[in-house]
A and B are shown apart, each in its own frame.
Chain A
């Protein structure tokens, strides 16, 4: 048959083609390429089909006829303004991280912050919101993928669904950016993309559903339900625990010597950027906590939350400042910034239910916890370049427990039109017994353990692909040049104490000037 084809001039071209295919398939590299291409096309096709299946049945505009509660104007405006403030925390995060890192990884931090935000937006629209805020079972929401089939407003809040989504997207993005904090300086960009999809697409929304979902098992548990007003556990402990897993999976930066081995953290490259970033985070927190009332009509609630947020940050900044002074006899800016951030993280869960005095003490304790936790990480030789784990995990846990201790019992639950005082939250110090504290401990423990275990699996899975950590050469050259082809300050010759390597924390070099050898003196 084939002989006939070859002889016929009409099929000569076809035969040639067949010949080339046959020889191509004998070549293993060619075969692998063709298979990969075909496989990739099939996967892509399947994804598109799956997406269409979600998209087509109930497009959003088709729900116009569905009955929905009336939109509440002031709640909507309040939540949107808060959402924009929380988004502003991204600015703070990238500034804080870039400022406290070495100059050679600044571009990488900025690109990661931006790309994590973008990934978070897409995954939170596609399935994250459905996993987290829609009914399903106690462990995961199973409704409203791509926001399809949802009512115009979220629950009884009177807030348009899309406004509520923007607010919650900003929270998810915060969690996602926290994770990168302890992984600065050595994490490859492809690895960052892979673990970010895992964090914002799965870990945060699914475990967040336990505490904040309408039927999450922690939110409905009895006799006292787990309370986390704005996310000490749901946002900060989850982010901090993932960050810890990432730092463990990555290992320390090259040349990082720990304090017990006679070293210390490399010097930051721009302490002004870092401190300004910290203050912008504090500003953004005024959206994070007060906005979580989800109601502009709960005037006393908003005021109380704003006050408590401020007070905890102030007292935590002061205790960190003085505690650091006692230890090193200098007024340390870096520890003070991490101190007030620790206070903000801690007050995030209890801010609705505690008194001004309570907020003061919750903050004051967190300013010390953050320094102890930093020491602990240093002692066990885990390299956390900007202190994400002590601030977000350490003080996230403390703040969650503090609710069970300091809740006054005067305040109930926030509703769309004000406070509902029929159920009050009362802590240990105000005669509420250990019931609430126990609920907080169960919630915090379950979330932290589950997050840390899953994050370890995720990080080691990404590590197995070889993309989590850059090569030693790339790390020494700096992630900016290696991954992005651009230093942060391309125009300037950078001055400073060994800025490219971050300096060493030993006592200052003996050397300014040109010396002669000592023994030669007569």
Chain B
């Protein structure tokens, strides 16, 4: 199993979710995060003074999937979340050792 963790633009969350639903993944975890990569933030203005806001709002989406669908899922995320501008985000893939269903106590079969 792999944990696919991607950081996308807030307004792309729905597109990514729709793309993942097409692959019949059962669910996902979505978190509001702040951060920056090469995109260096924007300027906020308050009472005429400018503030550099370097940490931008982004959304992190996590899904755990089987090894044989990893490529497909990554492709779906990248296609759904891309605008072509700096700040589209990142996708990371991490190995998962074990997974359990809390309600039944069953261990996921790898």
Q: If the complex has contacts A485-B45, A487-B44, A514-B29, are A520 and B108 also in contact, measured as CB distance less than 8 A?
A: yes
Q: A511 → chain B, closest Cβ, in Å?
A: 3
A484 CB contact (under 8 Å) in B11, B45, B64: B45
Distance in angstroms from A469 CB to nearest chain B CB is: 17
With known contacts A476-B11, A501-B13, A522-B109, A515–B43 Cβ distance under 8 A: no
B91 interface contact, C-beta 8 A: no
Which stretch from A9-17, A394-402, A488-496 is at the chain B interface?
A488-496
- Assess the B11–A500 pair: CB atoms within 8 A: yes
A2 within 8 A of B: no
Contact at B99–A516, with CB atoms within 8 Å? yes
Interface size on B, residues (CB 8 A): 36
Residue of B nearest to A522 (CB): B109
- B26 contacts A485, CB within 8 Å? no
Across-interface contacts of B34 in A (CB, < 8 A) = 493
Decide if A501 touches B10 in the complex (CB within 8 Å).
Answer: yes
The answer, yes or no, to whether A521 is at the interface (CB within 8 Å) is: yes
Question: With A493-B57, A509-B17, A520-B66 known to touch, is A515 a contact of B109 (CB < 8 Å)?
Answer: no
| A486 at the B interface (CB under 8 A) | yes
CB pair A504–B63 under 8 Å, yes or no, is: no
| B69 & A517 in contact (Cβ 8 Å cutoff) | yes
Residue on B nearest A514 in the bound complex, by CB = B64
Q: A4: CB under 8 A from chain B? A: no
A476: chain B residues within 8 A (beta carbon) = 11
Q: In this assembly, does B65 line the interface, its C-beta being within 8 Å of a C-beta of chain A?
A: yes
* In the bound complex, CA of A500 to CA of B62 (Å): 18
A33 at the interface (CB under 8 A from B): no
In the complex the two chains form, is B44's CB within 8 Å of A514's CB?
no
A7 at the interface (CB under 8 A from B): no
> Is residue B79 within 8 Å, beta carbon to beta carbon, of the partner chain?
no
CB contacts (< 8 Å) of B108 on chain A: these are: 516, 520-521
Contact status A501-B14, CB under 8 Å: yes
- Whether the pair B13, A510 counts as a contact (CB closer than 8 A) is no
In the complex, residue of chain B having the shortest beta-carbon distance to the beta carbon of A475:
B11
Question: In the complex, A193 Cα to B38 Cα: how many Å?
Answer: 37
* Most B C-beta atoms less than 10 A away, residue of A490, A495, A498, A511: A511
Q: If A494-B57, A516-B108 touch, does A486 touch B32 (CB 8 Å cutoff)? A: no
Complex Cα spacing A298 to B92, Å: 74
Please report the C-alpha to C-alpha distance between residue A517 and residue B109 in the assembled complex, in whole angstroms. Answer: 10
B30 at the A interface (CB under 8 A): yes
Q: Which of A484, A485, A499, A511 contacts B27 (CB 8 A)?
A: A511
Give the distance in Å from the alpha carbon of A484 to the alpha carbon of B43 in the complex.
Answer: 10
By a CB distance below 8 angstroms, the chain A residues around B21 are 510
Closest to B110 in A: A520
Per-position 1/0 for B17-31, Cβ under 8 A of A: 100010011111110
Q: In the bound complex, do residue B1 and residue A516 qualify as a contact, i.e. CB atoms below 8 Å apart? A: yes
Inter-subunit contact A511/B44 (CB<8 Å): no
Task: Compute the total of residue contacts between A and B using a CB distance below 8 Å.
Answer: 93
**Assembly CA distance A504 to B16 (angstroms):** 13
Q: How many residues of A contact B (CB 8 A)?
A: 30
**A269 nearest CB across to chain B (Å):** 13
The answer to whether residues A486 and B66 also contact, given A493-B34, A512-B27 and a CB cut-off of 8 A, is no
Question: CA A513 – CA B11 in complex, angstroms?
Answer: 21
A422 within 8 A of B: no
Chain B residues with CB under 8 Å of A514's CB are 3, 27-29, 62-64, 99
**A108 smallest CB distance to B (angstroms):** 13
Q: Residue on A with the closest CB to B28?
A: A511
Considering the complex, give the chain A residue whose CB is closest to the CB of B43.
A485
A521 vs B99: C-alpha distance when bound (angstroms): 12
CA distance A512 to B103 in the complex (A): 13
Q: A512–B43 Cα gap in the complex (Å)?
A: 34
A297 at the interface (CB under 8 A from B): no
Look across to chain B and name the residue whose beta carbon is closest to the beta carbon of A500: B10
C-alpha spacing A481/B53, complex, angstroms: 11
Bound Cα distance from A498 to B58, whole angstroms: 10
B6 CB within 8 Å of chain A:
no
Known contacts A476-B11, A501-B11; A481/B25 CB under 8 A: no
Q: Say yes or no: A493 contacts B44, CB within 8 Å.
A: no
Q: How far is it, in angstroms, between the C-alpha of A498 and the C-alpha of B27 when the chains are bound?
A: 15
Task: Report the Cα distance A509→B25, complex, angstroms.
Answer: 12
- Cβ-defined contact, A481 with B42, below 8 A: yes
Q: How far is the CB of B102 from chain A (nearest CB, A)?
A: 8
A residues in contact with B32, CB < 8 Å: 493-496, 499
- What CA separation (Å) do A405 and B3 show in the bound complex? 68
The distance in angstroms between the C-alpha atoms of A80 and B72, with both chains bound, is 69
What B residues does A518 contact at CB under 8 A? 24, 26
Name the residue of chain B whose CB is nearest to the CB of A487: B44
Neighbour of B25 across the interface among A501, A512, A515, CB < 8 A: A515
Question: In the complex where A485-B43, A520-B109 touch, is A513 in contact with B10 (Cβ < 8 A)?
Answer: no
Output the residue of B11, B14, B45 with the most chain A CB within 10 A: B11
A257 to B106, CA, bound (A): 40
CB distance from B60 to the nearest CB of A (A): 12
Report the bound CA distance from A41 to B1 in whole Å.
72
Contact B44 A516 (CB under 8 A): no
- Contact among A486, A498, A515 for B45, CB-based, below 8 A: A486
Q: Are B109 and A521 within 8 A (Cβ)?
A: yes
Within the complex, what minimum Cβ distance (angstroms) separates A321 from chain B? 31
Q: A486-B44, A498-B59 are in contact. List 8 more A-B contacts (CB 8 A).
A: A485-B44, A490-B46, A494-B32, A498-B30, A513-B27, A514-B29, A517-B24, A517-B65
A-B contact pairs, 19 of them (CB 8 A): A484-B45, A485-B50, A496-B32, A498-B10, A498-B30, A500-B10, A501-B10, A504-B14, A510-B21, A511-B28, A514-B27, A514-B29, A514-B63, A515-B26, A516-B1, A517-B65, A520-B109, A521-B108, A522-B109
By a beta-carbon cutoff of 8 Å, the part of chain A in contact with chain B is 255, 476, 481, 484-487, 490, 493-496, 498-501, 504, 509-518, 520-522
